[in-house]
Amino acid sequence: MKLSFRIALLSLAVTATFAPMLAAPAVKLLSTDFPDVSPLLIQWVITLSSIFILPTLFSVSYLSERFSKKSILIVGLIGYLIGGVGPSFVNSMTWILVFRAILGLSIGLVSPTFNSLIAEHFRGEARARMNGLVTAINGIGGAVFLSIGGFIASFGWRSVFLCYLYALVLLALVVLFLPRIPPAGRRVTAGATRLPGTFYVIALLSGLHVMLYFTIPTSFPLFLTESGIGNAQTVGYLSALSLLSIFIAGLVFPVLTKRLKGALVTVGLLLYGLGFLLVGTAHSAFPVFAAVVLIGFGQGLFFPMSFGKTAAVVPQERLTQAISYLLASIYLFQFLCPVFMNAVPKFFAFSSSRQTFIFLAAATGASIVVSLVLAARRFKPRISANR
């Protein structure tokens, strides 16, 4: 594949990651300028776009049968610009939320489309390398934006939304360098109307590992407060550090895939388990920072693995639909993370968030045992065949 095609695809990786978090620095300023607006509505400035991603995720498969993926990406990026920049020009919280909903709908078009293009046009090591780079870009991009978010907000909340103008560069790259591949048409036969059952297991597990990763921004603040470790600024550093760890994992993912092969899942679970154990037993900032590095690295392995395994088990004509479902699971479990982290201590009558993290470490340990048993079962037939 041409280098320009690769660059255009990889540049689109920033859309899903940056969109929700880019508005975070504006929340406090909005609460000051809109004192009569409910705090919940102001918080929705960040989360509403994530909810509105889901409707268009499920329509992309239908659209890709009738329109070229380049056309879908162009429409999605135009909507991304409108939804992202729009709040800068209005004075109503209602209209700000409307634009945030448009942003979410546009991400639902862009994200599965560029991921399906990677799955369709790259094979084997090349696909693993591209998925790793997508993860790396997500990580380093998020770390950079978290670091500069406070500076941007110093110019006012409108300037935060103007930052979405970077999508003009993405739109230019798509227009100039992505080929206009004709729509596939409806190629699925009556005997292949269902996605393989293995895929649904992959989608479920992918959602779960993302949910566990999002305990960093959603549950670490409460833990730090309870434990007297750090402050709100510390949470920002932790989030940036986790994204930097994801970046590193994305870069080394192709190498680890070749060397560890089937053991990569177990390694990722081990990183998660050790991370949660460190948090649950931490009494100073250093173990928490170490935990964030481990969990972030684990997430940086799991994320590209999810897309690689999906492409491996799903027929090519169903890849766009499958990736839409995969992303829907990821976004849904991301949304459910705070619900889960509130339900666990209530169900087990835990008295602190520290106990919740120890529980997560134990649960991850149990999943490591299961993964080892499954790996052993796959290994035995190979030994028998060699004999």
**pLDDT at site 222:** 75
Residues 178 and 198 in one domain: no
**pLDDT at site 190:** 41
- Domain end call among 185, 219, 250: 185
Residues 115 and 217 in one domain: no
pLDDT digit string, tens, across residues 153-201? 778 889 889 888 889 999 999 999 988 877 766 554 444 567 899 999 9
**pLDDT at site 189:** 46
Residues 120 and 207 in one domain: no
pLDDT digit string, tens, across residues 313-358? 998 888 888 998 998 898 888 878 878 888 899 999 998 889 999 9
**pLDDT at site 202:** 94
pLDDT at 63 over 60: yes
pLDDT at 296 over 70: yes
User: Residue 298: which pLDDT band, with cuts at 50, 70 and 90?
Assistant: very high
Residues 155 and 85 in one domain: yes
pLDDT digit string, tens, across residues 83-112? 999 999 999 999 999 999 999 999 999 988
Question: Among the listed ranges 8-17, 118-127, 206-215, 377-386, which one has the minimum average pLDDT value?
Answer: 377-386
Model confidence, pTM: 0.80
HEC secondary structure over the chain: CCHHHHHHHHHCHHHHHHHHHHCCCHHHHHHHHCCCCCHHHHHHHHHHHHHHHHHHHCCHHHHHCCCCHHHHHHHHHHHHHHHHHHHHHCCCHHHHHHHHHHHHHHHHHHHHHHHHHHHHHCCHHHHHHHHHHHHHHHHHHHHHHHHHHHHHHCCCHHHHHHHHHHHHHHHHHHHHHCCCCCCCCCCCCHHHCCCCHHHHHHHHHHHHHHHHHCHHHHHHHHHHHHHCCCCHHHHHHHHHHHHHHHHHHHHHHHHHHHHHHHHHHHHHHHHHHHHHHHHHHCCCHHHHHHHHHHHHHHHHHHHHHHHHHHHHHCCHHHHHHHHHHHHHHHHHHHHHHHHHHHHHHHHHCCCCHHHHHHHHHHHHHHHHHHHHHHHHHHHHHHHHHHC
Residues 170 and 217 in one domain: no
Question: Among the listed ranges 132-141, 246-255, 321-330, which one has the minimum average pLDDT value?
Answer: 132-141
382 or 299: whose pLDDT is higher?
299
Residues 119 and 251 in one domain: no
Residues 253 and 306 in one domain: yes
Q: What is the mean pLDDT of the chain?
A: 85
Hey, what amino acid is at 169? V
- Domain end call among 185, 208, 240: 185
Residues 157 and 299 in one domain: no
**pLDDT at site 191:** 46
Q: Given CA atoms 350, 358, 328, 8 in this order, what sign does their dihedral have?
A: positive
Q: Which residue has the tokens 């300037």?
A: 159
Share of the chain above pLDDT 90, in %: 38
- Domain end call among 142, 160, 185: 185
For residue 297, what is the domain's CATH number? 1.20.1250.20
Residues 21 and 165 in one domain: yes
Share of the chain above pLDDT 70, in %: 89
Residues 243 and 380 in one domain: yes
Count of domains observed in the chain: 2
**pLDDT at site 279:** 93
Distances (CA, A) of 281 to 294, 349, 354: 15, 19, 7
**pLDDT at site 186:** 59
Residues 167 and 201 in one domain: no
* Burial of residue 186, with CB atoms counted within 10 A of its CB: 0-12 exposed, 13-18 middle, 19 or more buried: exposed
Question: Among the listed ranges 23-27, 263-267, 319-323, which one has the minimum average pLDDT value?
Answer: 23-27
- Domain residues for the domain of 330 are 194-387
Query: What's the whole-number mean pLDDT along residues 249-268?
Result: 89
**pLDDT at site 60:** 87
Residues 160 and 13 in one domain: yes
Spatial distance between the Cα atoms of 362 and 370, rounded to a whole number of angstroms: 13
- In this structure, what token pair is assigned to residue 148? 């500069």
